[in-house]
Amino acid sequence: MKITDLALIFVAIILPIIIIAYVNVSYTIKAQEQEMYYNKIINIATEDAANQMKEVESGDTENDYGYSGIQNSKVSINPEIAKDTFLNSLYNNFGIKGNDAAQRYLQTFIPVIAIIDYNGVYISSEENVNNTVEHVVKPKKYYTYTYSIIKNGGGDYEMRDGIVNGAYEYHTVEFTMDDYITHRGSYGSGNNYEVSNFYISDSNNNEDLCTNSSFRKTVVKNLLNKRRDIIIDTIVKQISYYTNAANAYAKNAGINYSFVFPTITTEEMSSAINNVGIFAFVQGLNTGNKYLNTKSYSVSKLKETDKYFFSILNNGSSKYNLNLYHKDENCPEYLSSFHNGDEWETIITPAYVITKQQAASAQVTYTIGSEDNRENDIVGGFYPCPVCNP
């Protein structure tokens, strides 16, 4: 066989392989570029929604929305604005604004939009409304936790999750992004608490958390520890449920893609419970040789109230020989003096205030020592700490 014949055979075998490889690489590059483009416009949409959903601050105390740097002022989160802003941004960037059929079809690739509020989460997902499938915002799911207080065989008190038959007390709290809660409950034989709002750690107002004063400190500690987990669990369960439910609507729309709960990192969830924000999930869009499965998250940061923490002179441990107020709980002067929750079981009420004027004129009640050897007093005359300079 001549060498030219071998060359022709070689070319005949190798050339199709090269063409196929080239086509596959081209498809892969095109798919990556398309995926990057989709991610970009989805991220833009969530940022737009986060910026628009936080409405003007309101002094209406009936609102149960987020906090701000202004005393008694609340931040109103509008989930409808969040949803509409997100979708309209996508419509504009996909070039389908005004095309109702295309807009409804695009919505089927968005299993869940989660709007994270100060005290609960809203979910927008598809529903059949008047024979039209469209995204609808569900009622807010609050960050709710129920516990029971019981006495064990030895007469000691215990706090247990959920409703325990035979318990003396039943409590339900709605958590928020700080330790402010709404409380409902009952005790004894059908005695109901009034619905109340207070800070978990506020010893002047948290008596409803447990009728036994000595066990109340344990309840407070447990609630503060559970808050983060309850918020995350509520958000995750809502997203998971409505992501699975979206499959039925997608199937009816002819989309052969199975929506699954996406991975959310610890960092993303930590941000979610510190700020109001929006999670959006887009899955199943064809990007060439694969399907898009992406999530996008953006926050609208709440301006947290400034806090000025009190410390009480601890037998001359402070070189300034003064009762002080601080802006930093890690300030060495704060740590060296009696402060709320230190190793001497100090209870200071209020533990902090939110303006310097209040700090300078405060009358603070404090309790120091073990239960059988306590010192109680009311003190005033607090000065700005020269170390942390509030």
Q: Give me 224's structure tokens.
A: 């503060």
Distance CA(210)–CA(230), nearest Å, equals 20
Place of tokens 């989460």: 121
| Cβ-based burial of 150 (10 A; exposed 0-12, middle 13-18, buried ≥19) | middle
Average pLDDT over residues 36-59: 76
Give the three-class secondary structure for 23.
helix
Q: CB–CB of 323/381 below 8 Å?
A: yes
Looking at residue 138, what is its pLDDT? 92
Distance CA(348)–CA(363), nearest Å, equals 11
Closest by CA to 216, choosing from 197, 195, 201, 228, is 201
Q: Which of 2-6, 132-136, 228-232 has the lowest mean pLDDT?
A: 2-6
Give the three-class secondary structure for 136.
strand
Q: What are phi and psi of 124, to 5 degrees?
A: -110, 125
Instruction: Tell me how many degrees the CA angle 43-45-51 measures, rounded to the nearest 5.
Output: 105
Instruction: Tell me how many degrees the CA angle 319-324-328 measures, rounded to the nearest 5.
Output: 100
Cis? peptide before 350, omega within 30° of 0: yes
Looking at residue 180, what is its pLDDT? 84
Place of tokens 């199937």: 251
| pLDDT tens per residue, range 100-148 | 888 888 888 888 999 988 889 999 998 887 888 888 999 999 999 999 9
Looking at residue 70, what is its pLDDT? 39
Domain locations in the chain?
Answer: 308-384
> What's the pTM?
0.67
